Amino acid sequence: MPTENLERTSDQEQLVIRRYRDEVLEVEDSGRVKEVERRFLEAVNGLRDHGSPRLERTLDPLHQRELTLARDAEGKRIIRLPPGADALPKDATRSLQHTERYEAVLPQEPVPIGAEWTIEGEPFRRALGSGLGHDPQGQIQCKLLEVKEEELDDETPAEPYAIIALRVRASGKQTPAPDAPELSSRMEGKLRFSLKRKKVVTVDLSGTARLRQTRTEGDVTVELSGKGPITLTKRAWFPRKPEPKKPR
């Protein structure tokens, strides 16, 4: 059976926007969030495929939806919708977490400057979600570079951040199908963790992604491969609490 190899460099552009507000309803004795109410202000997906002149945006099923994330007695996730609300597709809620998913790369105990650790297994999959394929495999190498006080923008006062260097190696299939394209990537970047808010504030990763797929068309087996740049960014904003009104 003849085999044909096709290789190209991809300039595909993908956009994922998720803006939401959380209200923590219950916390376990260990400090782990048990129940949170989440309101999606904006949920938009965008794609500009190879050769397309512009990026096409579509609203995600989570756009302007409300839901509650909780845990049962065994720690399994429960999703509750408001009474009378339309059901959500499983794919839309599959990667939802109670807290920020990149918190999975943080060390379990305090570490000194220069400390290194590796994230694998379930914490690795929780950190990446489904963005890099179905059931991704790989690891994230982490290193605490420094603690630095910064002002990220004009609206955010300076505060101390732990700066963590990340090196990501990941691979996974885009769908569970046996002949689904395999996506692999290598990225490097940094994460900022606010020591004041105890929250991940920024994540910036960039590198190269590779796509491979083998398809059989009649008597011909076609092996497709391509590569291109990949960039993942995240920024969290924390609105200021309204100042109490002064008595007249």
Closest to 168 (Cα-Cα) out of 227, 123, 211, 212: 123
41 and 77 part of one domain:
yes
Between residues 225 and 10, which one has the greater pLDDT? 225
pTM: 0.69
179 and 75 part of one domain:
no
Residue range 222-232: mean pLDDT, rounded: 80
What are 123-140's pLDDT values in tens digits? 888 787 766 666 788 999
Q: Based on the structure, what is the number of domains in the chain?
A: 2
Q: Is residue 146 part of a domain?
A: yes
Closest to 193 (Cα-Cα) out of 185, 184, 182, 201: 201
Q: Is residue 241 part of a domain?
A: no
Is residue 93 within 8 Å of residue 79, measured between CB atoms?
A: yes
Span of 88-102, 156-170, 178-192, 201-215 with lowest mean pLDDT: 88-102
End position of a domain, from candidates 38, 64, 98: 98
Distance CA 78, CA 155 (A): 36
Distance CA 66, CA 57 (A): 21
Mean pLDDT of the chain: 82
pLDDT at residue 207 tops 70: yes
72 and 110 part of one domain:
no
Closest to 91 (Cα-Cα) out of 63, 130, 123: 130
Of all residues in the chain, what percent carry a pLDDT higher than 70? 83
75 and 131 part of one domain:
no
pLDDT at residue 32 tops 80: no
93 membership: H or E segment, kind and range: helix 90-93
HSE-up (13 A, CA, CB side) for residue 194:
18
Is residue 112 within 8 Å of residue 144, measured between CB atoms?
A: yes
- Extract the runs of DSSP E, i.e. beta strands, from 81-198: 116-119, 134-150, 159-173, 182-194
84 and 114 part of one domain:
no
Of all residues in the chain, what percent carry a pLDDT higher than 90? 31
pLDDT for residue 132 = 64
What are 70-96's pLDDT values in tens digits? 988 877 888 999 999 999 988 888 777
89 and 149 part of one domain:
no
pLDDT at residue 9 tops 60: no
